[in-house]
């Protein structure tokens, strides 16, 4: 069974640039969620994708966007990077919604983004 993978591991960008982070879900999972974890804090929910559509969103501005592909992999795109976007970005996969909120989420190792 293949776990959740994310790429790249680390990334350095400058303010105003755009970035794309990638995630491959665990085998058999077709739902992907993205979280932002600032240093010393708990992860914060950005959004969730199911069947290639955004299924729910947290309190993040529109410059945070995503995609999900037919193979259930996903991308997180952030435009106009700001210094506060520096964080660990975590991707999690889970069984499909419809089983009710609370499905166990399996997390990837994360992408560490630094914005200078």
Partner 1 sequence: AQKVTQAQTEISVVEKEDVTLDCVYETRDTTYYLFWYKQPPSGELVFLIRRNSFDEQNEISGRYSWNFQKSTSSFNFTITASQVVDSAVYFCALSGGTSYDKVIFGPGTSLSVIP
Q: Does 110 bind partner 1 (CB under 8 A)?
A: yes
Q: Does 56 bind partner 1 (CB under 8 A)?
A: yes
Which residue among 24, 30, 33, 74 contacts partner 1 (CB under 8 A)? 33
8 bridge partner residues: none
Residue closer to partner 1, measured from CB, 26 or 85:
26
Residues touching partner 1, count (CB under 8 A): 31
Which residue among 1, 39, 42, 71 contacts partner 1 (CB under 8 A)? 42
């Amino acid at each position: 069974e293949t776990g959740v993978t994310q790429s790249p591991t680390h990334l350095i960008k400058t303010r105003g640039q755009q970035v794309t982070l990638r995630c491959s879900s665990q085998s058999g999972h077709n739902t992907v969620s993205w979280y932002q974890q600032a240093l010393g804090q708990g992860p914060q929910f950005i959004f969730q994708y199911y069947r290639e559509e955004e299924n729910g969103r947290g309190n993040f501005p529109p410059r945070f966007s995503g995609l999900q592909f037919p193979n259930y992999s996903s991308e997180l795109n952030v435009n106009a990077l700001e210094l506060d976007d520096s964080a660990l970005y975590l991707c999690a996969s889970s069984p499909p919604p419809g089983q009710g909120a609370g499905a166990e989420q399996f997390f990837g190792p994360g992408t560490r983004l630094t914005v200078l």
